[in-house]
Amino acid sequence: MRRILVVLGSAAVLISGLVLSRGATGKSDTGPRAGSDPLPTSITGFDPTSAGPTADDSGLPSTDPSAVSAAGDRHVSLAFKPGVPVQLVVPFGTPNHPDGVRARVTANKMNPDGTLHVPSDPTTVSWAKEDAAPGSSRGTVILTSHINYVINGQLVIGALSDLAVYAKQAIGKTISLKLADGRTLHYRIVAGREYTKEQLAGDKQLRAELYDQRKVYGPASHPASRLLLVSCGGAFDEYTGEYEDNVFLYALPVR
C-alpha cells in the first residue's frame, strides 16, 4: 500500500470544521530527536514463507530453523485472535504527559491518496484498520495522531506528542492496548526512528520497511505483529504549518 507523507502535525486552527494554516515565516525545533539508524534486528522480522533466520524468545534473530513455512504459518496463526483497539495506555509520565497517556483509539481506513487517516482531535489516536490488527500473527499494527493542534485558539498537546522522548528515555518500558472485546495487550518499546517527510516521500524501500505487513515478529514459536506509533516531530515550519519529520516508535508484544 502506498504511504508517503504520513502525518500532518500542524498547528492549524480548527474553526467550524475548516482548517486554516497560519502564515508566519521561520522554523522552530521541538526538542529531542529519535535516531535514524537502521532498525534493530529485534523488529526487522522475517518472512514466514522463506527458510531464512527466525527469532528466539529474546526477540532477536537465531539460527534455529523452526517450521515457518507457509503451511506452518497458517497453523500457528490459528492460535491468534486479532482484536479492535479502543484505548492506548502509556503508564509512565513525560514532560507533556506527567500522568501518562490514556487515549481513545478509533478505527479508520486509509485516505484516498494512500496516506494514513489522522484524527483532527490530537488526543485521539487512529488505528489503520486495513493493516494488521492487535493480536495478529504478522505485520505492523499502526497507530497515528497529530503531535498537537490549535483548536479554537488553544494549543492541544497530542497523545503521541512524546514519541521522540520515548525513543530516548523509554526503551524497554511497557505500553498497553485495550481491545473492544475486553482484552489488554502489552507491548515493550524497542526502538524509535525519525525521518524527514521528504526522505520518506522519496524512499519507497524505507516506507515498505517501516510499515511492513508481511513479516513475522518475535520468536518463531510465538509469531506476532509489531506495534508502530507514528506522529510528527523535528522542526516546525510556521509558514507551512507543518512539522518537517515523522517519528516512528516500535514495540513488540509481551508474552
The pLDDT tens digits for 211-233 are 999 999 877 777 899 999 999 99
Please tell me the total count of domains within the chain: 1
What is the average pLDDT across 54-82? 40
User: Does some domain include residue 64?
Assistant: no
pLDDT of residue 60: 35
What is the average pLDDT across 101-117? 93
User: Does some domain include residue 110?
Assistant: yes
69 is written with which cell numbers?
Answer: 513455512
pLDDT of residue 26: 59
The pLDDT tens digits for 143-181 are 999 998 888 888 889 999 999 999 999 999 999 999 999
Instruction: Give percent of the chain with pLDDT exceeding 90.
Output: 56
Cα–Cα dist 140/133, whole Å: 8
Instruction: Give the list of residues 6+ apart from residue 154 with CB closer than 8 angstroms, or none.
Output: none
CATH number for the domain harbouring residue 197:
2.40.260.10
pLDDT of residue 127: 97
User: Does some domain include residue 190?
Assistant: yes
Instruction: State pTM to two decimals.
Output: 0.80
Cα–Cα dist 34/210, whole Å: 14
pLDDT of residue 1: 47
